[in-house]
Chain A
Amino acid sequence: MKFRLNKTVAAVSSSALVLMAVPVIGIASSSSAASKPTFTIGYQGPLSGGNAVLGINMKWGVELAIQDANASGRLPFKLQAAFYDDQGSSTLAPAAAQQAIANKSLVAVVGPAFSGATETAEPFYINAKIATVSPSATAAGLTNGKTNNNFMRVVYGDNVQGQADATFLVKKKLAKSVEVLNDGSFYGAGLAQVVAQDAKSLGAKVTTASYPQSSSCPPGTAPTSQYTALATQIKTSNPGAVFYGGYYCDFGLIVGALRSAGYKGAIMSGDGSESSSLISGTSPSSAANGVFLSAAGGSSGGNFTGALEKQFLKISGGVTSAKALYAPQAFDATSIIIDALARVNTKMPVNKIRASLIPELHKISLKGITGMIAFQSDGNLKGSGAGQIDYYQVQGGKIIQFGHN
């Protein structure tokens, strides 16, 4: 009798086993009972992909805050961090959010970091009554006309940043006409819209265009040469200034194209482009010199100092907080969550804790690293934002801050 294994049976039954077994393996739960209860603060943001640089900065800020709080020993609970990678993408954000929600010890979330991701993840956080305190999601659309109160942000929104940018270009750079470009993203298009409106109301002639095909952020399939056509058009129309609402990867390509076409006017972008990767991604790198950037930084000493900075350097592997954009904001976001948590009854079940944090956070009035933190009812910071938007310029291959609004 020939030895013949019935392949179909074996395959089919083993696949049925795999179907049952693997997900079960995945749900390993390990919680050791400790004397102090342990709570998790989650962070959702890009930890991989083209935007990871910004996301990792914020991760470090969160880690620093939690380390600091645990070390102080004055809290009746222990804290740990959990990180959820959404690559800054609005498509991947819901899945990351649901993972965070499923974490049974998670009480609040720092993030989501990117505006597009926030928009698609928020319905899930709203439903789960989890407070989301974002260090960087600046899109105006996130708070305009929304009724949910679980979203807060510790940076001034794009309404403020856009106005600062328009004022800079029209008033300081005396541009009579501005070409406003955007990458079609929730953040980029929103910021560009504010800049276009404000520039127009300040008296400049404004033209807008949208380039949603992303070339490299995260690597998309658009050809990197799509901006040479744009550069030709801009060279012909020669506006006084060009503003780009979007991220550093595509902005670098635009800057390179504009410079090589011979455009001599002012080129500016917002906080999505404020990154050293902007310079390494511009061809040639020297073309980035002279480019302007803005970011909501809070020039009221918005960096870590002293012992805190030393600790941060250890976590970040040498990157200073001055270079790590949004790390201080993430630190502040985490700190206010910890502060609010210390004031609620932590013996309640986790969903009650989550829900009770929301009104607690709205009551906060704290001086953080980046400035005074108190929220309006729509989740934006109180205050007009004057002096809170920093202007930067790329000089000699480095991003230098030279003023604020």
Chain B
Amino acid sequence: MKDLWQNPRVKRIGAIMLIAVLVTVMTGPEGNGAEPTAGFTGSFAAQASFFGIFTVQRWIVFSLLTLIVVGAIALAKFVHRSWNDRAHRGGSDASAMSTRTPLRRRLDMKSSRYVFYVIVLVLAIFLPHVITDNSWQTQIVQQILVYILLAIGLNVVTGFAGLLDLGFVAFYAIGAYTTAWVTGALPTPPPFHMQFNTFFAIPFAIALAMLCGVLIGLPTLRLRGDYLAIVTLGFGEIIYLFANNLFGITGGATGTREIPFLSIHLGSLKYLWGLNPVPYYYLTLGFVVLFLIIFSSLEHSRVGRAWVAIREDEIAAESLGINPLKYKVMAFAIGAASAGFAGVITASQTLFVTPPTFTLQFSINILVLVIFGGMGSIIGVVLGGLFIQIFVVYLEHSPPSGYNSQDLYMYLGALLVVMMIFRPAGLFPSRRRRREIDQIEAGTAPDAVLTDVGPHNRVQEEMS
């Protein structure tokens, strides 16, 4: 009996069945405190339609689906193996020579990548004319573009510099509240008692967010990965606490007063943003492209290379004269900049800033985008972010039965675990990151990574 349990095939079948049951319950109806089993029994006994063909109880539907999925995987494996067998039989040059077909070589060229970017940009510019519904347009700005901004910012911190920051939402909050402050929507009077134009809140917010990045980073970035995560989590919570409680400074839980519309009044250049979401879309899109260009060039610059060095072997980097603290703080500040700008966009479009937006859950949502897309790869993060956010927006708009908008984080959490188990490098990882992770897993990474102990990232500080 024990041998049966150890059999890998049995284990695999058992695992698949467990996962199927779990998915059935996850997508099933809700329960509540008075009827705790309602969710469970409903998940299996309720009627569901099998792709509209026929209607049976859910457990039957899911068993069929499981069989189909298992069959599909087995089929795919079979096909893949027979293709490769045929390839091997075909010629000896299959493995020795380069396997890059002319098409592949074409696609790997930089010029084709630029062509692709231009196409996407053109499509993005024409998007508001395709989707003319105002509420959808606002959703695109607030739920997709803002999240992308935040994700590329977190990507600088977590992907480039390798620092897990769980309090990233704090910079977003600072950007939003700064906008309110500078335009006079907070109980505290604006700086110099001048009520600034919302547009000029943009440099203020970015500067303040970057400053906070430096201030938070300096004392905490000496800590090792796990501890840094918890401490940044704590700082995020503290910012939320202060925002929620300091009624006289931030408006407390009620939030700010109404923030004036974004507008430009520069001599002959006059433009009012108003309530129409389309100008916001273009403004945000413009800045997204700007940030993408800046971050991309940073990645390939000296700073970017310093980050890579610190990520791979901090002690060796230090011995080469790179000051790890300086570059880590720089990463914090730069990531904070895009978060600060995102805060301005949210504040000026939704016209009110309230604390419940800035929770830990939000930080985790952004983290999921970065992890899913591929830490360290800008294009990966953008694509991964788009995937998930579009899906989330779609689910919110037409939720299938058994889905409550609050279930989202259950799925995101499961997604994180699954990604870590199967593909920690993310869906579209940069080649360098993938190589790093492969090295660590093979155990060939430099020593400092494997033997780190204690909260500080120094081998010498291990207490004896």
Contacts and interface: CB of A to CB of B under 8 A. Distances in A.
A18 B390 contact: yes
A34 interface: no
Nearest to B355: A212
B139 interface: yes
A3 interface: yes
Given A19-B390, A95-B135, A102-B134, A11 B428 contact: yes
Given A119-B352, A183-B253, A189-B254, A48 B406 contact: yes
B351 A213 contact: no
A49 B120 contact: no
Interface stretch (A120-128, A264-272, A316-324): A120-128
Given A9-B107, A90-B255, A213 B241 contact: yes
B258 A6 contact: no
Given A11-B427, A26-B397, A2 B87 contact: yes
Contact of A24 (B123, B130, B356): B130
Given A2-B94, A90-B354, A95 B139 contact: yes
Contacts of B252: 184, 189, 210, 212
A19 B386 contact: yes
Given A119-B352, A221-B359, A23 B101 contact: no
Residue among B101, B138, B352, B387 with the most chain A CB within 10 A? B352
B296 interface: no
Contacts of B6: none
B124 to A, nearest CB: 8
B131 interface: yes
Interface string A117-152: 001100110010000000000000000000000000
Contacts of A49: 406
Nearest to A4: B99
Categorize the interface residue count of chain B. 35 or more
A11 B383 contact: yes
B254 A123 contact: no
Interface string A1-23: 11110101101100110111011
A20 B386 CA distance: 11
A91 interface: yes
A79 B381 CA distance: 46
B245 A210 contact: yes
B244 A24 contact: no
Categorize the interface residue count of chain A. 35 or more
Contacts of B33: 280
Q: For chain B, what secondary structure do more than half of its interface residues adopt (helix, strand, loop), or is it mixed?
A: helix
B439 interface: no
Given A23-B131, A48-B404, A185 B254 contact: yes
A184 B405 CA distance: 25
A71 interface: no
A26 B398 contact: yes
A62 interface: no
B148 to A, nearest CB: 11
Contacts of A124: 275
A300 interface: no
Given A20-B123, A48-B404, A102-B135, A6 B107 contact: yes
A371 B352 CA distance: 35
Contacts of A27: 131, 133, 136
B406 A1 contact: no
Nearest to A100: B135
Interface in B229-248: 237, 241, 244-245, 247
11 contacts: A4-B99, A6-B107, A8-B107, A16-B123, A27-B136, A48-B406, A95-B142, A98-B134, A120-B352, A189-B253, A189-B254
Q: 10 smallest A-B Cβ distances: which pairs?
A: A184-B253, A212-B253, A98-B135, A102-B135, A3-B83, A120-B352, A2-B87, A99-B135, A186-B254, A212-B244
Given A1-B87, A48-B405, 15 more contacts: A3-B83, A6-B103, A16-B123, A19-B123, A19-B390, A23-B131, A85-B405, A90-B354, A95-B142, A98-B134, A120-B351, A184-B244, A186-B254, A212-B355, A221-B237
Interface of A: 1-4, 6, 8-9, 11-12, 15-16, 18-20, 22-27, 48-49, 85, 89-91, 94-95, 98-99, 101-102, 116, 119-120, 123-124, 127, 183-186, 189, 210, 212-214, 221, 280
